[in-house]
């Protein structure tokens, strides 16, 4: 039992260390000895848990995908305040940017998808893009979107912008990025939402406490 | 003279081949022999023109930055149709996505900026981000933006979305991406533009020929 707990802890430390090293050096240059040293385990232990760098990267991607899915489930389970599916999208995107700032595994999972030395197509980016697109199509079906809005263009804009804000969030402007996400939604919603549905959708529950004047 | 012309042609072939290989394999794994072979020149000629991979990458980035600057100058010189600075932004962003699809040097210049194995900060991405941000600040000063719009959030959304559409443009959906950029602007403009300025700004001159109903 103790051994099992230790194995889980070792795997977790390796995944986190790998995420950090992938983010710093890219997949191609990431060194397994550097990863095992940073995780505080032997290279033998690393090879026991992950026989190849590819398997380690897949585990980072799987853990990141699971983290995004947890955000979706958590916001979804809280009940939608009245804005329908779009409110869920607004809330989850804010959570995702916030998580990007503090969770190196989530961040690395997304970045591995765009790393040309890896060419991965199974990371969280794909799952998230498909979720956003499906949600926007559903919102369109439910009459939430303004007439003529393209769910495909909106999905690209949302997915790309959230990644852009996420990258800012782990730079030096970490404190301002949740505010920037709110400002992004304030910018996008007038064109996105059907006039009859406009009021209930707000840029995240955090907006309630800010001094931003509604537009 | 003949020798000079040949040298210019060789440099150009090397920059293009390097751009393609950087895009395919990433900076870290890009092999100089593969690049010289693809350019149809000897490795000796490659080393004569570019003594290191870093110098080759810098040249790709400089050429890509110059390409973006040319788009800006070309659209700017054409005269602004009446929508002010925002019209220029709309037009240039459409051109940039179109160029992304067909110009491997431009594309690689942008992608090198996000390649963790390179950590470049001098590529076209930086110039383009700063240009978009400055233009939005100017538009705000000129009363073109809706009240309360954050030029910073709008700049992140525009820069990230254009890169997103650019990446789509060099995938299998190349034909639909100019339309997606138009749809993106149709989505963003209602929240971005001051009501008094709303009419003149259109998603690019290409929009005139489409059947999109104005919103």
Taking the Cβ of residue B152 and every Cβ of chain A, the question of whether any pair is shorter than 8 Å is answered with: yes
Please report whether residue B45 resides in a domain: no
Give B-chain residues touching A148 at CB under 8 angstroms.
Answer: 186, 212-213, 215
- The residue ranges of chain A whose pLDDT is under 50 are 80-82, 205-215
Give A-chain residues touching B191 at CB under 8 angstroms.
Answer: 186-191, 215
Give A-chain residues touching B153 at CB under 8 angstroms.
Answer: 180-181, 183-184, 187
* The pLDDT of residue A76: 80
Give A-chain residues touching B150 at CB under 8 angstroms.
Answer: 180, 183, 187
- The nearest alpha carbon in chain A to B145 belongs to A187
* The pLDDT of residue A79: 52
Please report whether residue A182 resides in a domain: yes
List the beta bridge partners of residue B193: B145
Helical spans, DSSP H, in chain A: 2-29, 32-39, 43-49, 53-77, 85-102, 104-113, 124-141, 151-169, 177-192
CA torsion sign for A62, A64, A68, A70 is positive
Q: Choose the closest CB to B153 out of A147, A183, A191.
A: A183
**Domain extent for A151:** 61-209
Please report whether residue A2 resides in a domain: no
Question: What pLDDT, in 10s, does the model give residues B13-35?
Answer: 999 999 999 999 999 999 999 99
Please report whether residue A40 resides in a domain: no
Taking the Cβ of residue A133 and every Cβ of chain B, the question of whether any pair is shorter than 8 Å is answered with: no
SS3 category, A40 = coil
* The pLDDT of residue B211: 36
Taking the Cβ of residue A147 and every Cβ of chain B, the question of whether any pair is shorter than 8 Å is answered with: yes
Q: How far apart are CA A43 and CA A61, in angstroms?
A: 21
Q: How far apart are CA B134 and CA B157, in angstroms?
A: 14
- The residue ranges of chain B whose pLDDT is under 70 are 1, 77-84, 171-176, 198-215
* The pLDDT of residue A85: 86
Please report whether residue B149 resides in a domain: yes
Q: Which site among B22, B108, B126, B153 would you substitute to test the A interface, given the most A Cβ atoms closer than 10 Å to its Cβ? A: B153
Contact A185, A203 (CB under 8 A): yes
Taking the Cβ of residue B196 and every Cβ of chain A, the question of whether any pair is shorter than 8 Å is answered with: no
Please report whether residue A50 resides in a domain: no
Taking the Cβ of residue A36 and every Cβ of chain B, the question of whether any pair is shorter than 8 Å is answered with: no
Please report whether residue B187 resides in a domain: yes
CB contact under 8 A, A183 and B149: yes
CA–centroid distance for A10 within its chain: 24
CA torsion sign for B20, B23, B27, B29 is negative
- Say how many domains are in chain A: 1
Phi then psi for residue B20, to 5 deg, are -65, -45
Please report whether residue A134 resides in a domain: yes
Taking the Cβ of residue B80 and every Cβ of chain A, the question of whether any pair is shorter than 8 Å is answered with: no
- Between the CA of residue A173 and those of A177, B156, B161, what are the distances in Å? 7, 13, 20
Question: What pLDDT, in 10s, does the model give residues B100-110?
Answer: 989 999 999 99
The CATH code of the domain that includes A104 is: 1.10.357.10
Contact A129, A73 (CB under 8 A): no
Give B-chain residues touching A156 at CB under 8 angstroms.
Answer: 161, 164-165, 168, 180, 184
């Amino acid at each position: 039992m103790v051994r099992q707990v230790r194995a889980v802890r070792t795997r977790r430390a390796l995944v986190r260390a790998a995420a950090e090293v992938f983010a710093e050096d890219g997949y191609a240059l990431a060194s397994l000895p550097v990863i095992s040293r940073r995780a505080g385990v032997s290279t033998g232990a690393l090879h026991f848990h992950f026989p190849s760098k590819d398997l380690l990267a897949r585990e980072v991607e799987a853990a990141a995908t699971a983290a995004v899915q947890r955000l979706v489930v958590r916001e979804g389970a809280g009940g939608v305040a009245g804005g329908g599916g779009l409110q869920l999208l607004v809330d989850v995107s804010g959570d995702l940017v916030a998580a990007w700032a503090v969770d190196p595994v989530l961040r690395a999972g997304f970045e591995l998808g765009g790393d040309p030395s890896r060419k991965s197509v199974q990371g969280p980016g794909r799952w998230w893009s498909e979720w956003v697109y499906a949600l926007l199509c559903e919102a369109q079906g439910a009459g939430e979107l303004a007439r003529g809005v393209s769910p495909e263009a909106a999905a690209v804009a949302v997915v790309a912008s959230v990644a852009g804000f996420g990258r800012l969030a782990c730079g030096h402007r970490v404190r301002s990025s949740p505010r920037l996400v709110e400002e992004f939604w304030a910018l996008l919603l007038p064109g996105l939402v059907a006039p009859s549905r406009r009021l209930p959708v707000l840029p995240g529950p955090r907006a309630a406490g800010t001094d931003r004047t509604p537009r």
